[in-house]
């Protein structure tokens, strides 16, 4: 189970969870769609440890954390950001490499992994 405190995300090691993210653009008439991507990156000492690329549906994405994504992360504080890429150009692995515009709507926030007892 994950939880939020302000913009900070807390998740116990190995837990799963989902966050619904509504994507807003500075251009209020624009609704993100299937040509756009939302890039969610968690980093430790500026090194990515989780990268999720999501496609918005009517301006909404669901960020899902799996057991495999979090079970090997050490307890402690990481940083994360969310970037919105319009008309994304993707590489062979589905990662955005270019786009019409890139926006980072929020400042970098904390992603905190909480130690758990036992393994799943």
Q: What digits encode the pLDDT tens for the residues 29-78? A: 667 788 888 889 999 999 999 999 888 888 888 999 999 999 999 999 99
Q: What is the pLDDT confidence band of residue 18, given thresholds at 50, 70 and 90?
A: very high
Strand partners, 85: 37, 102
Residue 99: domain span? 3-114
DSSP state of 66: -
Answer whether residue 119 is part of any domain.
no
Element (H, E) at 67: helix 67-70
C-alpha closest to that of 99 among 111, 87, 107? 87
Alpha-carbon distance 117 to 16, whole Å? 15
Answer whether residue 80 is part of any domain.
yes
- CATH code of the domain covering residue 107: 2.60.40.10
pLDDT in tens, 83-114: 888 877 778 877 777 777 776 666 789 999 99
Structural domain count of the chain: 1
Answer whether residue 120 is part of any domain.
no
Answer whether residue 28 is part of any domain.
yes
The pTM of this model reads: 0.82
pLDDT at 10: 95
Answer whether residue 73 is part of any domain.
yes
């Amino acid at each position: 189970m994950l939880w939020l405190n302000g913009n900070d995300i807390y998740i116990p090691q190995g837990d799963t969870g989902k966050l619904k993210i509504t994507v807003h653009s500075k251009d209020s008439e624009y609704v993100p769609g299937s040509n756009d991507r939302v890039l969610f990156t968690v980093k430790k000492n500026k090194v990515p440890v989780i990268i999720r690329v999501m496609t918005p549906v009517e301006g909404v994405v669901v960020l899902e954390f799996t057991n495999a994504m979090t079970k090997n992360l050490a307890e402690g504080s990481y940083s994360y950001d969310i970037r919105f890429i319009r008309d994304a150009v993707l590489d062979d692995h589905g990662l955005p490499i270019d786009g019409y515009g890139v926006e980072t709507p929020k400042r970098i926030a904390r992603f905190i992994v909480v130690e758990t007892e036992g393994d799943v």
